[in-house]
Amino acid sequence: MYVFSGLQWGGKIQTRKKGTAMTIKHGTISYVTGSYIEFQAAVLRALPRDIDSNVAHGWTQNGESLARVLRKALTPDNMPAGLPAEASAKASNTYPLSVDYGRSVEDGVKAGRYDLANSDITSRNFPTKRKGTAEIAVEPIHFNRCISTDEALRELDMMGYRPAELQELLAFGEKYPEVQREFTVVASGSVWQNRYGNRDVPGLGRFGSRRYLELFWFGYDFDEICRFAAVRK
């Protein structure tokens, strides 16, 4: 009979000393204390058994997001200690922002100092119903597969997120300008219908070393490198 101990599938487990287990996988040796194994077992026992199957499937397809949620719940300060603010944000994939919804889109674009910006990203095309200033945290959710905007929105909703909007994306690009050099970040909470009838959403990306603010077709299937900027409901 095979028993899953909460270590690593495919690893050989040998007893090193009382209260410690050794795992070997891909030539790497790591030691796991008995107390940590007990902790893993406690987490498994505490998991709710009445999770909707669709929600459970969504989490199994988004391991990075699941790990992030568990870290937030199980670590007191929600981020690794001793790191600068931007490095901590990157490590936890949670980017705190102060968003002024009254600022014009044009001023937000200017503040972001983008090398390239789509001229259709304007206050007229992307009005907001939100007012005042708010402290939020944007999380770039990585689905790790090619995914349509509609599918991404459904999964974000099941995970307890809403899609970020343009004003939030602009604040994100201004405060964390290097993130878009690593991957494309889309704000699917703001949609504009262009003169051809196509719906577009704003996003941040790069051409070589140049940062850009661009529009993406809503019906586009985004590849696995893309992230969807999201805010907890």
Concatenate the DSSP letters of all residues of the chain into one string: -----SS-TT-EEEEEETTEEEEEETTEEEEEEHHHHHHHHHHHHHS-S---HHHHHHHHT-HHHHHHHHHHHHSTTSS-TT--HHHHHHHHT-EEEEEETTS-HHHHHHHHT-SEE-TT-STTTS-----SEEEEEEEEE--SS-EEHHHHHHHHHHTTEEE--HHHHHHHHHH-TTGGGTS-EE-TT--EE-TTS-EEEEEEEEETTEEEEEEEETT-EE-TT-EEEEEE-
- Higher pLDDT: 221 or 77? It is 221
7 pLDDT higher than 50: no
- Higher pLDDT: 87 or 123? It is 123
Average pLDDT for 15-32 = 46
Quote the pLDDT of residue 60: 81
Tell me: the pLDDT tens digits for 124-159?
A: 999 999 999 999 999 999 998 999 999 999 999 999
Average pLDDT for 176-191 = 95
Quote the pLDDT of residue 23: 45
Quote the pLDDT of residue 24: 43
pTM of the model: 0.65
User: What percent of the chain lies above the pLDDT cut of 90?
Assistant: 54
